[in-house]
Amino acid sequence: MFGLTAGFLATFAEWEEANGRDPNAYWPKRRWPTIANAIGDVADFIYNEMRVRPGFPFAGEPVMVVDGSGYAVVRQDDGPNAEDLTAGLNLLFVPAYGFAGKWQAAQGNLDEARRFFAMGDHLFVSAVSAFKPIDKGKDWFQQLYHSGDYLRYRREVQSETAPRIRIEIALANDRVEVSWPAGSTGWLLEQSDNLNDVLSGWVPVGPAMLQTNASTITARVVRSRAAQLYRLRGPYRVGESSESGASK
């Protein structure tokens, strides 16, 4: 029910704003000052804190279950159906994380925006990994129709008009060379050997590994046997791209 309720409230808020009205004019404001605050707080609670109620199977266990591959699957509810793990439900309420992330970015709360989009990305990728083409009817509707809103929110923050930075990657003896244009300021190169840990799996490449000339910044990283992925992380603001990636 949270997914449907959050979707309605987000659509209402966008409609009111698009027509020059305050979407929170009739909001009761007893606990949350705005619609966006309410959606964000509940989404955060489901992902990080919500537990199965006492007296039911798996009592005290998280509603958001992370499996051995790092994918997140939500339980059907926090009560009698807690044993049912339904990845498709991720896509029903994942737009809430996009709406909250977009709102936080618009307020200038960039760290919070990143956090909500990180949670949303985890849920979205996990659900897509479990999607079956034979799904139809209600499942098809909730998995594809509603999840499109999440992609829209992400795109609105990472605008199509924002410049994209091209990363080039090459092997040189015992090193991996990752390069990007020197004029692209404010970007941090990060690497990961575990895409399953989408929230904390990325670590910065140290400045000692960077070399700069007139046109290019190049990181020379010692090669490892494990697959490595690289990305640039930059300022996360409405109208600007924050990530570009490459892999080895």
> Which of these three, 157, 188, 207, is where a domain ends?
157
> Which DSSP string do the residues of 114-143 spell out, in sequence order?
HHHHHHHHHHHHHHHHH--TT--THHHIII
Measured N-to-C along each axis, helices 90-106 and 35-48 cross at an angle, to the nearest 10 degrees, of 130
CB of 2 closer than 8 Å to CB of 42: yes
Same domain, 196 and 92: no
> Which of these three, 157, 183, 208, is where a domain ends?
157
Q: N- to C-terminal Cα distance for the chain?
A: 42
Contacts of residue 117, defined as CB under 8 A and 6 or more positions apart, other chains included, come to: 97, 98, 101, 154, 157
Nearest CA to 89 among 72, 66, 102? 72
**Could you read off the pLDDT of 188-203 as tens digits, one per residue?**
888 887 766 655 678 8
Could you tell me if residue 125 is inside a domain?
yes
Res 24: pLDDT: 93
Q: Which domain holds residue 114?
A: 2-157
Number of domains making up the chain: 2
Q: Read off the DSSP letter of residue 41.
A: H
**pTM of the predicted protein model:** 0.65
Same domain, 61 and 144: yes
Could you tell me if residue 100 is inside a domain?
yes
Residue 54 token pair? 């006492």
Task: Report mean pLDDT in 10-residue bins for the chain, 248 residues.
Answer: 86 92 90 93 91 89 78 79 76 89 87 86 77 58 72 76 71 87 77 69 82 88 79 54 48
> Which of these three, 157, 180, 202, is where a domain ends?
157
Could you tell me if residue 162 is inside a domain?
no
Res 1: pLDDT: 77
Residue keyed to tokens 């958001």? 64
- In a 13 Å sphere around the CA of 158, the CA atoms on its Cβ side amount to 19
Contacts of residue 113, defined as CB under 8 A and 6 or more positions apart, other chains included, come to: 101, 102, 104, 105, 157, 236
> Where residue 201 sits, what CATH number does that domain have?
2.60.40
Could you tell me if residue 201 is inside a domain?
yes
Pairing of strands 72-74, 188-192: unpaired
Q: What is the rounded CA–CA span in Å between residue 220 and residue 179?
A: 9
Same domain, 86 and 107: yes
Same domain, 60 and 112: yes
Could you tell me if residue 163 is inside a domain?
no
Q: Which residues on neighbouring strands pair with residue 189, listed in sequence order?
A: 232
Res 44: pLDDT: 92
Same domain, 136 and 37: yes
Surface-to-core class of residue 108, CB atoms within 10 Å of its CB (0-12 exposed, 13-18 middle, 19+ buried): exposed
